[in-house]
Structure formats: structure tokens, C-alpha cells
Chains A and B, each alone.
Chain A
């Protein structure tokens, strides 16, 4: 069997006395959307930080493209093709939308003209074409989320880590962004998304990992996972599983 693009092997991360991620393992194949879900505080963002090099794991390994990349700094991983968005959006507030995306585009294109062309193309792809010359701090929440996507995409990644890009968006905005994400995967990018908007997870993800209190408690197709009583109870507490199951019967 072909090795998946990314495999996280028994990764743990400890913040002082708190074991935020506990021997979590997951994998993500090329051109597929994988979701990472779990209740608040489960350690999802910490796991993303480990994969993208912002945190060094206390234990475990991260393998990417057949190589051990554990503990490599973020900029080197970005060069290898790992891009991430931030849950709390981090625009370059003083720059225009175009210049924000340009920073990402410069990773693969030294020449300004080429990088600008990529920035414009990517901006249009995520639906920011009308706002390219606006300062990033004037964007709405939805606009900022798109900007996060655009910047990450401009680095021409092989693996894209999306940390709650749909959170805070209204249903119509979500409907706009979902096809954008699906398009990434159609281009051969491996996508891992942390998401609370289950409707989007169900429609986008082919495979889901569920993290609760630092441990992967379930994995499988979205349908399998939502039917898993351990998952339901992790979210809703004891006794909730039966209730949800009856609701799913319709």
C-alpha cells in the first residue's frame, strides 16, 4: 500500500502539566479531504501546530512525503509544501489583500511580476477578486477567512491544514466557501480540516478523525463517525447517543 502523504504517529504534546495531545495518530492521503473533529479543547489546534512545525511534539513522529519531518521549523515545512490557516485569523493587517497573498506567492516565485500574477489568480479563486486592493483590516470575518485560504493556497501546497475556516460564517457564506475547498482537493492537494460545522464535514470529508481530550477516539467515514456512540457522548455527554440515533433514523 502506498504511504499516505502525511502520517502522524503517536504524537503527544504536553503544556506543563496538561497533556494536550496524547499519542494521537492520523494520516492524510493526497487529493482527499480529511476532517479532524472534536469538542472544544480536545487538542485539535495543538495537533495542527505540531504538524506545521510551530510546536515540537513531546513524543511521536510526523512523517511527510516519506520523510521524518518532526520538529522542523514552520518555514521549512512550508517550503516542503505544508500550508496552514490560523483559527484566529492572522492577516497582515496593514497590507492590502493583494500584498497579503503576495507574501505566500513569493515562496515559489522570486520575481515580483510572477508572484503578483499568482496572487491575483489565487485571490480570484477564493472569491476576493473585488477586494484585492483593500487593506486587509477592512475585510469582514468571511473575507478574512477567505484571505487565510488564499495566502495558504498561494504557497502552492501539497498539504493544506485548515483550522476552522468556516467558523463564524453564516450559512450562505459557508455555501460559497465549501466548493472552494472541494476544488483544492480536486487539484491534488491533501486537505485536513478542523471543523465544527458538521454539515460541511459531512459533505466534504471522506475520512474523519475524532479527537477528544487529546486522544483519537474514533475514525472512519463521516457516516460511521457520527453513528459512533463514543463520539456522540464526547460531544454531548452520557446518554446522548441514543437520542441522536433516533433523530438520525428520520
Chain B
């Protein structure tokens, strides 16, 4: 498969980083960045390819995180099983929210608002329910063994999240070349026209929502294993909804690498500014806002889109000369 080659290349390049850099600060930063990229890639499946802009992907991130934590803390279940259960639970929440929203025929901003509302409802529920630790949150017991999905070395965590991101890139690539993906993009471009061509728009959007939710939930599950703590503000907070949609929009909506590129840029800028100015609260959000404005103004298809366009332009310049010239040469 031709399309998988760039993914292998990018993942291999990222995999080499811990061999060169041993600083835990840098590795921590990269782990969090990749986690956001994973959450963003989830959003990108539904928002980028399907055109359904969710403002509430925290609902899936948080559900994945809480289910992973609750399984371990309250039921003593193995962390890996908890991780898998978290993904399944996130997908189920996606199916429920998607089923309700799409059946009600909600599109564009209405859909965005409803997803935001669901995430907020979940946040409030989680902040009072005993099973989620209410206002205190949940602490996962420290147990630095691989069978507990905890690792002494940051590098191992890095490889785990890199593998997850790699899988999400492959999913997007396969999606682009599949019938389901073609139909999903068709729904994004024009739902009525898609239906006239036999696309069950409702089913396609719902399936995309489930897949999207599962991927973002995986990021939430990973969060818990990495930080060993979760509370309602982290799990269902708007911060993750915003980062999940910002990264692919800045990187390139509906592109395989959009979320990854966006996460790397946004997170680097955020950290870079913090280094210079110290830890001013909310400053990273201001940076995101500024970057978003610049990108939407100058590169509406994100960095990946802008890069592809520039590449096309260069390639065209170096391609064989235009037809009339060739004819005169032959003649």
C-alpha cells in the first residue's frame, strides 16, 4: 500500500527520538502531545472526514478515562482490560450521543452545541457521583509493572502512545481509500446528493461517530495510565474538547497527518511561550486562538493542506513542459 509508506516513515522518525533525547521533560512533553494528537485524530474522523463538528469530544475522552480508572480502583480489574473497556465505553457513548443527535436531524452548529451540552452534563454528573470520586477524583494505585500498564521509563509510555497514534494514522489512511470513507466524505460535502446516490447518511455518520469516539476514548484511557489520576474537570472539561478540535483544524482537517502536525505545532508553541513568559494561566489558550485565526485566514485546509498545495505548485513547475511546446519539438 503506497499510502502507508509515509506513516511508517513518520512513526519511525518519531520512534527514534528517545534514542537521541533522554530528557524526561522532553519525553513527558512528547507523550502529552501525542496523546492530544490521538484525541484530535478521533475528532478528525468525524469532524474532518465527516464534516460533523463536535464541540464535546471530552465526553469520549472522559468516559475512556473514567472507565479505565473505575475498573481498576473499584473493581480491581487488570489495567489492560480496563483500557480496552474504556475504549468500548467511549464508543458506546458515541453511539448514544450520535444516535440521538443524528436521528433528531441536528446539523452543523446545532450538532456542535448538543455535543457540548452532553459533555457538560457528563462533567457535572462526574463531579457529584460517588463512583467517579465526585469532587476529589480517582487515584490509580502506583504499580510500575507492565501488566498494570505502568512503566518506570517514560520512553516506554512514549512508545505506547506512539503506537496508538500510528494505529490511528493507519485507520485514517484506510478510511480515505475505503467505500465507507468515500461515503463519509460525500456526506460532508453534500448530504442530500449523497443520499440520492444511495448513501445511508444516518448510518454513515453514526459509524463515524462511534469510530471517532473510540479513538478519542483511547487517549483518555492513556491519560489515566500516564498520570494515574482523573477528576471531572480533566476528564470532561472543555480543555480536551477544544484541543481535540483545534489540533486537526490547525494541522489540516480531513487529512491523515493533520491532527499529529497540529498537536506538535500547538503544543510546542504553548510550551515555548511558557518557557519565555513563565506560567501565566490561560496564555496557552491565547496562543491557540491566535494560531487558529492565522491558520483559518491563510491556510483554511490547515498546515498539511497548505503544504500539499505548495508541493503541487513546485511539482507542476518541474513537470514536463506544456503540451504545445512538446508538439513543436516532435514536429
Q: Is A151 an interface residue (CB 8 A)?
A: yes
**Complex: A104 Cα to B178 Cα, angstroms:** 14
Which one of B177, B186, B198, B200 contacts A92 once the chains associate, using CB atoms below 8 Å?
A: B186
What's the least CB distance linking A96 to chain B, in Å?
11
0/1 interface trace, chain A 176-189, chain B, CB 8 Å (1 if under): 00000000000000
Q: Is A115 an interface residue (CB 8 A)?
A: yes
Q: Is A26 an interface residue (CB 8 A)?
A: no
Main secondary structure of the interface of B (DSSP, over half): helix
**B189-A106 in contact (CB<8A):** no
**Complex: A154 Cα to B193 Cα, angstroms:** 13
What's the least CB distance linking A85 to chain B, in Å?
8
CB proximity to B under 8 Å, residues A182-223 = none
With known contacts A90-B193, A91-B193, A112-B177, A155–B198 Cβ distance under 8 A: yes
**B193-A75 in contact (CB<8A):** no
CB proximity to B under 8 Å, residues A67-85 = 73-76, 78-79, 83-84
**B194-A103 in contact (CB<8A):** yes
CB proximity to B under 8 Å, residues A34-86 = 52, 54, 73-76, 78-79, 83-84, 86
Residues of chain B within 8 A (CB-CB) of A76 are 200
**Complex: A82 Cα to B186 Cα, angstroms:** 19
Q: Is B179 an interface residue (CB 8 A)?
A: yes
**Complex: A218 Cα to B195 Cα, angstroms:** 32
Which one of B178, B179, B183, B190 contacts A90 once the chains associate, using CB atoms below 8 Å?
A: B190
**Complex: A104 Cα to B199 Cα, angstroms:** 9
**A92-B190 in contact (CB<8A):** yes
Residues of chain A within 8 A (CB-CB) of B196 are 52, 54, 74, 78, 83-84, 86, 90, 152
**A75-B189 in contact (CB<8A):** no
Which one of A54, A75, A154 contacts B199 once the chains associate, using CB atoms below 8 Å?
A: A75
With known contacts A74-B196, A75-B198, A86-B196, A103–B178 Cβ distance under 8 A: no
What's the least CB distance linking B201 to chain A, in Å?
7
Residues of chain A within 8 A (CB-CB) of B79 are none
**A103-B195 in contact (CB<8A):** no
What's the least CB distance linking A126 to chain B, in Å?
15
With known contacts A92-B185, A95-B185, A99-B182, A104–B192 Cβ distance under 8 A: no
**Complex: A106 Cα to B177 Cα, angstroms:** 12
CB proximity to A under 8 Å, residues B172-212 = 177-179, 182-183, 185-186, 189-190, 192-201
**Complex: A46 Cα to B14 Cα, angstroms:** 56
Q: Looking at A83, A84, A93, A103, which has the most chain B CB atoms within 10 Å of its CB?
A: A103
What's the least CB distance linking B163 to chain A, in Å?
27
Q: Is A94 an interface residue (CB 8 A)?
A: yes
**B200-A75 in contact (CB<8A):** yes
0/1 interface trace, chain A 120-158, chain B, CB 8 Å (1 if under): 000000000000000000000000000000011011000
Q: Quick one: closest A residue to B178, CB to CB? A: A112
Residues of chain A within 8 A (CB-CB) of B195 are 54, 73-75, 78
What's the least CB distance linking A82 to chain B, in Å?
9
Q: Looking at A75, A84, A86, A102, which has the most chain B CB atoms within 10 Å of its CB?
A: A75
Q: Is A243 an interface residue (CB 8 A)?
A: no
Q: Quick one: closest A residue to B186, CB to CB? A: A103
What's the least CB distance linking A56 to chain B, in Å?
14
**Complex: A29 Cα to B324 Cα, angstroms:** 50
Q: Is A236 an interface residue (CB 8 A)?
A: no
Residues of chain A within 8 A (CB-CB) of B186 are 92, 95, 103
Q: Is A240 an interface residue (CB 8 A)?
A: no
Q: Looking at B178, B183, B189, B196, which has the most chain A CB atoms within 10 Å of its CB?
A: B196
**Would you list the 5 A-B pairs with minimal beta carbon distance, nearest first?**
A78-B198, A92-B189, A90-B193, A107-B198, A74-B195
| Other contacts beyond A74-B195, A90-B190, A95-B185: 19, CB < 8 A | A73-B195, A73-B200, A74-B196, A78-B196, A90-B192, A92-B185, A92-B194, A95-B189, A99-B182, A99-B185, A103-B194, A103-B199, A104-B198, A106-B183, A107-B198, A110-B179, A112-B177, A151-B197, A154-B197
- What are 15 sample pairs from A and B whose C-beta atoms fall under 8 A apart? A75-B200, A75-B201, A76-B200, A90-B193, A90-B196, A91-B193, A92-B194, A93-B189, A93-B190, A99-B182, A99-B185, A103-B182, A151-B193, A152-B196, A155-B198
